């Protein structure tokens, strides 16, 4: 939303205008929207939102890719080099930290294992159809997303070289056509609204299930109250609301919104979150479950290869976390909360 307003500002006042705008109001609006959507009780009830978010993802990715191709053509050649950003533009240590942070960003992009089981649970088919469908869906989705990530990343760097922004659309590598940027950034907003729910709903369900098991007799935890909807008397209906769900989910969204306002460093924070979740959720637990399920003999060649894979990913996760923390620390040196940028 901030990027849309800045794109219009650049179009009206020129690219040299700083167009300093505070992101705080837009984060609050986003948080309010998430509070509303977070009250959807179950994961399977947000399938429409997930589909909409996926469509929006393809929309803005395609626009970014197209603009990158056009920019390369306009430049009459490819910018940058195979070794990445030039030493001198950044220090050698900064290049190392940025490279490690990039690992975290990539890891976050493939952290879908957090919701994989939840998705499989919504498939209405008897075993082994569920696993068959999920294997096919996983292969296709990973292939498609990898293709888009590689194309967008490579074309973005080819278009701008060392001057490539962290985000091609919101970082204003492109200024025109401003209306197309508005469409892309609006698609990003819708995608993020859906993505937030897709990733948070399993956490919501886990906490609420644990609380219900811990305090099964609590009316606050398990009970529901009827809230009358503001409709005409002839159509008066009530909505059942679980107080614990309403308060806990609202508190979670408020907390994450406040943290986002205090630390609006998208790439660094995403890299850190990706580094934290990648190894345990995407690599370690699946590998260990596979070893147990298939009864892979200890110290067999397959077991050794799997453990080497797990160890290698652990090293990458630690390095990515270090790079992301270094990036956040660097940003904090110049950042002032709630200030327009």
Q: Tokens representing 57?
A: 């993802």
pLDDT value for 308: 95
Q: For residue 234, name the pLDDT band (cuts at 50, 70, 90).
A: low
The tally of domains found in the chain comes to 1
Which tens digits make up the pLDDT trace of 172-227?
A: 666 777 788 888 888 888 888 888 888 888 888 889 889 999 888 888 888 877 76
Q: What is the pTM for the complete model shown?
A: 0.79
Tokens of 316: 């990458």
119 within some domain: yes
Q: Residue 171 domain-assigned? A: yes
Asked if residue 286 belongs to a domain, the reply is no
Domain presence at residue 260: yes
10 Å CB burial of residue 105 (0-12, 13-18, 19+) is buried
Identify the weakest region by mean pLDDT among 40-44, 120-124, 185-189. Answer: 120-124
Q: Is 239 contained in some domain?
A: yes
8 belongs to a structural domain: yes
Has residue 6 got a pLDDT over 70?
A: yes
| For the ranges 18-27, 173-182, 237-246, 252-261, the one whose mean pLDDT is highest | 252-261
What's the mean pLDDT in 264-283? 80
The CB density around residue 209, as the number of other CB atoms within 10 Å, is 10
Task: Give, for 241, the enclosing helix (H) or strand (E).
Answer: strand 238-242
> Residue 181, Cβ neighbours under 10 Å: how many?
27
Domain with 60, as residue range(s), is: 2-85+114-264
Closest CA to 56 of 155, 162, 186: 186
* 257 in a structural domain: yes
Asked whether residue 329 is assigned to any structural domain, the reply reads: no
The candidate with the shortest Cα–Cα distance to 187, out of 65, 63, 57, is 57
| Most confident of the following: 3-12, 70-79, 260-269, 298-307 | 298-307
Q: Which residue has the tokens 């509303």?
A: 36
């Amino acid at each position: 939303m901030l990027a849309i307003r800045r794109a219009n500002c650049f179009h009206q006042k020129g690219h040299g205008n700083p167009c300093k705008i505070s992101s705080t109001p837009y984060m609050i609006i986003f948080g309010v929207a998430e509070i509303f959507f977070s009250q959807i009780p179950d994961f399977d009830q947000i399938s429409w939102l997930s589909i909409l978010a996926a469509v929006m993802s393809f929309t803005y990715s395609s626009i970014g890719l197209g603009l990158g191709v056009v920019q390369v053509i306009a430049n009459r050649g490819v910018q940058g080099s195979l070794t990445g950003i030039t030493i001198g533009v950044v220090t050698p240590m900064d290049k190392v930290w940025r490279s490690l942070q990039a690992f975290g960003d990539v890891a976050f992009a493939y952290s879908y294992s957090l919701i994989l089981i939840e998705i499989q649970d919504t498939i209405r088919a008897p075993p082994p159809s569920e696993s068959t469908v999920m294997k096919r869906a996983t292969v296709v989705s990973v292939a498609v997303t990898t293709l888009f990530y590689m194309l967008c990343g490579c074309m973005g760097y080819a278009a701008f070289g060392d001057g490539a922004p962290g985000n091609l659309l919101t970082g204003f590598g492109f200024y025109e056509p401003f209306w197309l940027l508005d469409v892309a950034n609006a698609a990003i907003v819708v995608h993020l609204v859906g993505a937030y729910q897709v990733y948070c709903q399993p956490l919501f369900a886990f906490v609420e299930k644990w609380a219900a098991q811990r305090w099964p007799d609590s009316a606050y935890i398990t009970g529901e109250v009827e809230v009358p909807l503001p409709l005409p008397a002839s159509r008066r209906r009530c909505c059942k609301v679980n107080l614990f769900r309403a308060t806990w989910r609202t508190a979670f969204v408020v907390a994450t919104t406040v943290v986002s306002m205090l630390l609006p460093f998208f790439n660094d924070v995403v890299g850190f979150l990706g580094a934290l979740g990648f190894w345990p959720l995407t690599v370690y637990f699946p590998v260990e479950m596979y070893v147990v399920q298939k009864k892979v003999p200890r110290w067999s060649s397959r077991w050794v290869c799997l453990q080497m894979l797990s160890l290698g990913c652990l090293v990458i996760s630690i390095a990515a976390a270090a790079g992301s923390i270094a990036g956040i620390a660097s940003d904090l040196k110049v950042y002032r909360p709630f200030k327009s940028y």
